[in-house]
Amino acid sequence: MPTDPPPDRLITGYLKDEVRVLNAQIPRKRKSLSELLEEEHPHVICNDGNEHYFRKKELESLSQMVNDEERSSLLLPIIMEITPDRAEIIIRTKGEAEAKIFSTILSMSVICKQNKITIYRPQLGVIRNALKTTTQYVFSP
């Protein structure tokens, strides 16, 4: 006769699911802004196989913030790394485009050091408000 698993095993099962769900939104492959602007329905495929769509208005506003060269180098969605025990949020970049975008949104200078941009939690709300579909969270264990 099947019986309920013991409570501890049940919780372990939930936790396993929780960790899997945490980073399910990471895209398998990011696309450049210029590539996305050409698509009719701009989207990327996530780790869990689902599609993540971008709002066209957001892409257009981003394209106005950067130049032609940066448009093809800027990979979307921009990934924001959240690490426990740390107040800062790290954005790993390849060029200066992300720093340019964030400084425009935050209306302050943002420095890119060793391919990393550091922002703080109160600034996260402002960025997410402006870039709802073009930014993604990643929870670093």
Partner 1 sequence: MAAKVEVTRPTKIELARLKRRHKLATRIQKIVKDRLSILIMEFLQTVKECASVKESLLAEFAEAYKALTITTGYHGYVPLEKELLVSEMTVKVSAGTRNVAGVRMPLFEIEKVDPVKSKMKNAGDTSSILDHSTELSQKCLETIIQLAELENSLELLGAEINKVKRINNALEHIVIPGLDVTIKYLTMKFEERDREEIARLKHVKRLIEQREAYAY
Under rule CB under 8 A, residue 139 binds partner 1: yes
CA distances (Å), origin 139, targets 43, 63, 71, 112, 128:
22, 28, 27, 21, 16
Residue choice 1, 41, 68, 109 for contact with partner 1 (CB under 8 A): 41
Ranges of beta strands (E only) in 1-141 are 31-32, 43-45, 51-53, 75-76, 78-82, 88-92, 112-113, 116-120, 135-139
Under rule CB under 8 A, residue 85 binds partner 1: yes
Under rule CB under 8 A, residue 119 binds partner 1: no
Residue choice 30, 35, 52, 123 for contact with partner 1 (CB under 8 A): 52
Task: Identify which of residues 2 and 7 has a Cβ nearer to partner 1 in the complex.
Answer: 7
Supply the minimum distance, in Å, between the C-beta of residue 25 and partner 1: 4
